Structure 1
C-alpha cells in the first residue's frame, strides 16, 4: 500500500512540434472572467505610424489655456494608439506632457484592462501610474488588486502590494498575495516577490520568489517541487528545472530523491529539426538501488525522431534500452508504462514518388522477461511499384524486399531473404458492388546459415520457393428503406465472397525469422495469408463467405451492424508454423472442412444503450475459440456505465511456458454527482483464478481555478524474471495505492484532464463502440 500527495503548482511548457497528433481533449470546468467594461476598439488604423501618435480626447465639457493646461469633465475619453483612458474628469498638462485622471477611471489596451482611483500618465515616455487598481489580463482568467500599478513604456506591468487569482472575484478559492509582481508583456511571464498563498482564506505557503506564465510562452527556471511518500520508495522529493535553450530546443532535468532507493534523475531534451522534423532524448539514472541487494546501476536511454526531409524523403528513428526487466515496474519512467514489455528499436528512411517508393530500415525488439530474443532486421530494403489502370483497366503492382536476419546469440541460425511479388488485378467497382480478380507470383529465395547444431534440424543452405496465388473477391450491395418499432431506417445487405488459391510447397526447410499466426476475426477471414511475415505462406484452396447488414437512421448515422462469415476449405492446408526457431520437426496442420464461424455485432440497443461483441466459434468441435461482449450506457457527457466479458483460450504464459485461458468480467463507470464533482471506477475479475485483477475508484472535484482528485488503485503487477535482480521472489503480486492530486490553476498548472484520463488510468482502457453515434 502506498499513499502519495502531490501539490501541482506548475506545468511544463509545451514545445510545439510540427504535425503533432498527440493532442488531448481537456474536459474541465472553465470560468469566464471578463472586465466590467467593454473592450476598447481603436478609432484609427494602428498600422499607420502617424495614427499611433495621434491623440483623441472626447468629453462633455472642457476648458483650456493655450500651451499650458486643459481640463475635461463628463465622460472623458482619452485615446492614443491602442490605449484608451476613460474617467469622470481629467487634466492634460501640455508643458509636462502629462495626463491626470480620476473618477470611474478605466485604462485599457490590447493586453489588459485596469480600473483605479486615480491615474497619472506620461505621454512622452508612454507610461502610467494608477493607484487603488483592479486589473484583468485579456485572454486569461488572471485578475486581482494592486495598491499601486505602473505601466512602463515597454508595456510591462509593475504591481505593488498586490494579489491575483483565477477564481471568481466574489469567492476566490485561492489567492496569491505579493509585495511585488512584474508582468513582462514581451516574455509573457510574471515575476513575484514575497508571496503568500491562501487557500480558502487560510495562508498555506510562503514563496520568496517565483515566476509564472501568463501565456503558453516558454521560460527557463525551476518548476514547483513535488512531494510524495510510499512504502516502496519512502519519502520522495523532486524539483524539476526547465531550460528554454532556444526556440528549437528545450531541456527538463528532474532530480528525484527517494529515501528507500536513492537519487533518481530524469533528463528530457526536445528539439525541432527544421519545420518538419522533431525528436527527443531521455536519460534516466538510479545508481545502486538501495532497495535491491547488490543492485547494479539502473538506467534508461531513449531517442525518437521523425519527420520529412523534403516532399519525398521521410525519416524515422526510435531506440529505447533499460538496465533490467523490472525497470518500468519499480520506477516511474517518463517514457513507458509498467504494462509495456517490448522495447522497439527502429531506424528507417523512405523515398516516395506517386507510383513507387523505396525504403531502408533496421529493427531490433527487446522483450522484457523473456529469455528468447527475436531476430534482428539488419538491414531491410523494400521497393514497391504501383501502376493503376495500366492497360484497359488492369492494375499492375510490384512488392519486393531483401532482408538480412541476424541474432545476438551465435547458436541461432541467420538468413538473408529476397522476396519479389508481382501482381496483376482487374477491379470493377460500382454502386451495386465490386469484383476484383487478382493473380500473383510469390517468389522467395533464402540463404541460411544453420548455427543451431541440432541433430534433427532440416534447414537448407539455400531455398528457392515459387508459389502462384489467385484471388477473386466480390461484394454485392443491397439496400432498402424499412421501419422497426415505428422508426424509419435504411437497411443494407452486403454479401461478399472470396476464392483464394495459393500453391503448396514444403517449407519445413526454412527457419522462422519474422512470422507468427494472425488473428482470425471476421476481417481476417478475407485475408490472403494465415501468417504474418514471409517465412510461412500457407497453401490454400478455399472459399470465404461473409454477410454484413447495417441500419442507418434518418440522419444517416449507423446504429446497427452485424457481420457473419466462415471459410470453406476445398483442400486441407499442409503448411504450419514451427514451434521452435531453427527447428522444423513439428508444425501445426489444418485438418478440417471449414474454419470457425466469426461474427461481430455493434448496435445502439435503445436510446443511450449500446452493445458490441464478437465471437469465433468452432461448430465442428462445439468450442468457443474467442469471444468478447460489452454493454454501454452513455446518457450524456461524462456519464458512462459499462459491463464487459472476454474469453481468450490457450494464451502462452511466458513465465511458465504453459497455456492459460483468459476469462474475465469487468465493470466500469463514470458519473457526475454535480457540475463539478465526478465519480469514476472500474473493477475487473478473473473467473479462472477467482480473484480481482484490477480495481480503481476515483473522485474528482474541478472548478475553473482549482481541482482535487482522490483515487484508489489495486492492480496485478507484472514481475519479470531478472538475472541481475536477486530479490525477484520477494516481489508482491499485487500493488495498491491511494493517491491525492491537488492542482491550482493559473500558477502554471492546468489540472487533471477530466473524466477521460481517469477512464484510461489503469490496465484496461475504455473503448467505446466504433461508428456508432454518441
Structure 2
C-alpha cells in the first residue's frame, strides 16, 4: 500500500495513521499438474484483474478490535485483530502500533500481506512513512505458479527495490521439496528490471547441482546478460558433452549468445549467435569453430548469415550466406541421417521490388559444393547477375488479363573449368501472355496464349553457335465445374464434385543444341499435370499436344466449412508423343502420363489418413506412393504410421509415438526402417517422468550418420524445473522434428 494519510475513528477517538505498501515480484507460468499436486490457478486471473497502481489510489480502511493513544510517547495502539484494506490488498495482524511522530507502523506479532498475485507472512514487521517495509521471518507464496519460499528478512521501499536475506525458493508442494534454490541474498530493482543473487545454489533431490557466488537476472520480460542453463549430451562419435551458453545483452536491438561446448572425444567448440534489429529489418549471424578436432584431425567451422532489410514497403533486400569446413559437419553435429543429404550450401542476395502489378528481383547466387564426389558437370552454376520480372494486369478491356515473365541471367562457375566441357554465358527468357478468365456460378473457363522466347550469348564455345535461341507459342484452355449437394440424415454435410480439364498445345522446337544451366524435371504431381511446361527452368520448353483431366471430390461440414475428406485423381493424355528431352532422359511413348491420386481423410475425430500414389498404367505398377495414418485421441497422445515408396530408390516404413503410460510416465519413440536394406536407418526411444514441480526426459538414439552407412548413437537429457528453467532443451527440439504432430505444448497439455 502506498504512502497515504488516513483519519481513523474508534469510539470517538480520532487519529492519523500512515500506511505503507509492499511491492513484490514473481515468476508466472503454467504447468501440467498431477492428481496429487496442488491445483494451479490460471495466471490470467492474477494479472489481468489486478492493477497495483490503480489499487494504490483507492481509499484505505483500518479496522481493529480496540484502540487507544499512549500520550507519553504519542503512539497510537491498535489492539486485537487488526486489518488494513486498500482495494484488493490486505494486511492482517494483531496488536499494531503507529508512532504519530515518525509515522512508523510496527507489528511484533505475526503479520500477513496479501493481494491477488501473492501472499507474504512474517513473524513481525514494520512499515515506514518513506514507503519502505520490513518483514522478519518471512514466507511468501505465488499462487499462479505454486511457487513459495522463505527469507529471514524481506526489505522493500517505494522505489521498487527489494532485498531478501537467506532465501529459499521452490515450486514443489510443501513437504516434497524435490528442488530448491538457496541464496544468501537476493536484490531486486523493479524500476531497472534486474535482480541479483549472492551465493546461489540449486539443489535437486538434496544434491547440489549448480552453484554460483553471484548471478544477475532479468525481472519480468527484460533481457539480462548472464549464463543460461547448461545442456548435457552424449554420442558415440563425440563422447559426453556439456554446453554452457552465455547471453550478452549488448543493446535493446543487439544481442549475442556464446555457447562453449566440450566434447570428451573432440575437444572444445565455440558456437556464436549474433542477432540485430534495425528500423529497416533484422538479421542473424551464426558461427561455430572447433579447433583441432581430435576425431577429424583438423580445424572445423560453420558460418551462416541471413538478413532481411526493408527499405520501403515495396523494396526489400534478402541475403543468406553459409560456409562449412567439411562434408561431415552436419553428420557429426546434430542432424543425423538428414545431414547425409546436404550436398551444397546456397548463398544469395535478392533485391526485390513489389508493385501493385509488377514484381522484380535482382539476384546474385552461388553454392558451396560440400560433396566433392559430385561430378563437376552436375554442380550448380553461379548466377551473377539475374534479373527476373513478372507482371499481371487484370481487368483489361473485354475482361482480358495481360502478363509478362522476363528473366536475364549470367551463368558461370567459381572453379577452374579448363579440364571440363562446361558451357557458360548469358540467357534471356521472355514470355508475354494474355488470358481471358470467364467465371460463372459453378463453372470457369480460362483460355490463354503466350509466346516464349529464350536466347543465349555463350562464352568460349569454338565451333558451335554461341547465340542459339528458341521461340514457340504456348496455347492453353483451362476449365472446370463445381457441383455441390447436401448430404447426411440432417443435411449436415456438403459434398462437392469438381472435374477439371486443361488442353495444352506447344509446337515442337529442336533444343538439343541449347545448354542446360538450371533446368530439371519436376516430380509428377497434381499441380505438375496442369502446368504449361513439365520442366522447371528456361532451358527446355516441352512440346505438348495434350489434355490433362482431374477430378476432385470434397466432403465438408455444411456449417463450419471444415474439410473432412478430399479425394483427387488426375492424368494427362498425349495426342502426340513428346519429343523434347534433357540429356539422359527417355522419351515417353505410352500416350499418357502416370495416374496421380491423393486422399486426405479427417472424417473420424481421432484419426487422420493421407495417401498418395503415382501409377504407371502401361506397366501396371506404382512408381511412387506414400501413406500416413495418425491416431490422436488426446492432445498429448499421438501415434503415427507411415509408408514411403519410390521405385528403384527407397521403400521405408516409419512409425512414431508419444504416449503417457501412467500418470507420471510418458514414452516416446520412432523407427525409420528400410525394406530395401532390411535395417533401421534411424530409431530412438525415450522416457519422461513428470512430478508436480519438475520433469526429466531421456532419449537414446541410433542412426545412420553418413553416406557409407556407418551408425552413431547419442543420448539426450533434459531436466525442467517448473517456474525456473530447463537444463538441456535439445530433447524437446529433437522430438518436435521427429514425431509428426508433437509439440512442446502438447507435452505439457493438461
- TM-score tier (shorter): 0.7 to 0.9
How far does the alpha carbon of each residue in 1:592-612 deviate from its partner, in whole angstroms, 9 at most, with x for none?
Answer: 211011111111464523322
In 1: Cα distance, 2:49 partner to 2:65 partner: 20
Matched, 1:375 2:381: yes
The equivalent residue for 1:478 is 483
How far does the alpha carbon of each residue in 1:637-666 deviate from its partner, in whole angstroms, 9 at most, with x for none?
Answer: 12222222111124xxxxxxxxxx211122
Match of 1:444 among 445, 454, 464: 454
The equivalent residue for 1:101 is 107
- Report the TM-score, using the length of structure 1 for normalisation: 0.82
Match of 1:549 among 550, 553, 576: 553
The equivalent residue for 2:203 is 198
Matched, 1:576 2:581: yes
- Greater displacement, 96-105 / 389-398: 96-105
CA contact (8 A) 1:406 1:415 kept: yes
CA contact (8 A) 2:31 2:722 kept: no
Q: 1:699 deviation in Å?
A: 1.2
The equivalent residue for 1:629 is 627
The equivalent residue for 1:654 is none
The equivalent residue for 2:499 is 495
- Greater displacement, 689-698 / 731-740: 731-740
Gaps of 5+ in 2: 1-29, 744-750
Q: 1:133 deviation in Å?
A: 1.3
In 2: Cα distance, 1:280 partner to 1:627 partner: 39
CA contact (8 A) 1:76 1:90 kept: yes
| SS at structure 1 position matched to 2:534 | coil
In 2: Cα distance, 1:139 partner to 1:248 partner: 31
How far does the alpha carbon of each residue in 1:346-383 deviate from its partner, in whole angstroms, 9 at most, with x for none?
Answer: 11111222122222111123343243321111111122
| SS at structure 1 position matched to 2:331 | helix
CA contact (8 A) 1:196 1:207 kept: yes
The equivalent residue for 1:734 is 711
C-alpha RMSD of matched pairs (Å): 3.5
Describe how 1:551-700 pairs up with structure 2 within 5 A.
551-554=555-558, 555-579=560-584, 587-604=585-602, 606-650=604-648, 661-700=649-688
The equivalent residue for 1:9 is none
Describe how 1:43-442 pairs up with structure 2 within 5 A.
46=53, 57-59=62-64, 61-64=66-69, 68-73=74-79, 76-78=82-84, 85-101=91-107, 105-108=111-114, 113-124=119-130, 126-136=131-141, 142-228=147-233, 230-274=235-279, 277-292=281-296, 295-332=297-334, 340-369=342-371, 370-371=373-374, 372=376, 373-411=379-417, 412-442=422-452
CA contact (8 A) 1:701 1:709 kept: yes
Q: 1:166 deviation in Å?
A: 2.3
| SS at structure 2 position matched to 1:301 | strand
| SS at structure 1 position matched to 2:561 | coil
In 2: Cα distance, 1:298 partner to 1:119 partner: 61
Matched, 1:512 2:516: yes
C-alpha distance 44-288 of structure 1, shift in aligned 2 (>3 A):
closer
CA contact (8 A) 1:46 1:82 kept: no
C-alpha distance 687-105 of structure 1, shift in aligned 2 (>3 A):
same
- Greater displacement, 590-599 / 108-117: 108-117
| SS at structure 1 position matched to 2:522 | coil
In 1: Cα distance, 2:450 partner to 2:70 partner: 98
Match of 1:706 among 691, 694, 698: 694
In 1: Cα distance, 2:196 partner to 2:611 partner: 56
Relative contact order higher in (CA < 8 Å, ≥ 6 apart): 1
Q: 1:178 deviation in Å?
A: 2.2
Q: 1:285 deviation in Å?
A: 1.1
CA contact (8 A) 1:646 1:663 kept: yes
CA contact (8 A) 2:41 2:145 kept: no
C-alpha distance 696-424 of structure 1, shift in aligned 2 (>3 A):
same
| SS at structure 1 position matched to 2:538 | coil
How far does the alpha carbon of each residue in 1:85-111 deviate from its partner, in whole angstroms, 9 at most, with x for none?
Answer: 343443222311211136563335797
| SS at structure 2 position matched to 1:260 | coil
In 2: Cα distance, 1:479 partner to 1:107 partner: 66
| SS at structure 1 position matched to 2:293 | coil
In 2: Cα distance, 1:329 partner to 1:204 partner: 32
CA contact (8 A) 1:35 1:136 kept: no
How far does the alpha carbon of each residue in 1:602-649 deviate from its partner, in whole angstroms, 9 at most, with x for none?
Answer: 114645233221111111121311111122222221222222211112
C-alpha distance 224-620 of structure 1, shift in aligned 2 (>3 A):
closer
CA contact (8 A) 2:233 2:717 kept: no
Match of 2:706 among 718, 729, 738: 718
C-alpha distance 468-569 of structure 1, shift in aligned 2 (>3 A):
same
| SS at structure 1 position matched to 2:528 | helix
In 2: Cα distance, 1:171 partner to 1:249 partner: 42
Q: 1:474 deviation in Å?
A: 0.9
Q: 1:112 deviation in Å?
A: 5.1
Q: 1:239 deviation in Å?
A: 3.1
| SS at structure 2 position matched to 1:462 | coil
CA contact (8 A) 1:68 1:95 kept: yes
How far does the alpha carbon of each residue in 1:362-414 deviate from its partner, in whole angstroms, 9 at most, with x for none?
Answer: 11233432433211111111222221102231111122121111112342211
CA contact (8 A) 1:28 1:754 kept: no
C-alpha distance 464-75 of structure 1, shift in aligned 2 (>3 A):
farther
C-alpha distance 230-644 of structure 1, shift in aligned 2 (>3 A):
closer
CA contact (8 A) 2:62 2:85 kept: yes
- Greater displacement, 486-495 / 555-564: 486-495
In 2: Cα distance, 1:198 partner to 1:358 partner: 59
The equivalent residue for 2:13 is none
C-alpha distance 46-746 of structure 1, shift in aligned 2 (>3 A):
closer
The size of the alignment, in residue pairs, is 700
In 2: Cα distance, 1:560 partner to 1:468 partner: 39
In 1: Cα distance, 2:563 partner to 2:47 partner: 49
- Report the TM-score, using the length of structure 2 for normalisation: 0.85
C-alpha distance 354-96 of structure 1, shift in aligned 2 (>3 A):
same
CA contact (8 A) 2:638 2:741 kept: no
C-alpha distance 188-79 of structure 1, shift in aligned 2 (>3 A):
farther
CA contact (8 A) 1:140 1:214 kept: no
Q: 1:186 deviation in Å?
A: 3.2
The equivalent residue for 1:11 is none
In 1: Cα distance, 2:39 partner to 2:443 partner: 53
C-alpha distance 139-245 of structure 1, shift in aligned 2 (>3 A):
farther
How far does the alpha carbon of each residue in 1:441-489 deviate from its partner, in whole angstroms, 9 at most, with x for none?
Answer: 11222111256x8xxxx963112322111111111011112338x9953
- Greater displacement, 536-545 / 504-513: 504-513
| SS at structure 1 position matched to 2:725 | coil
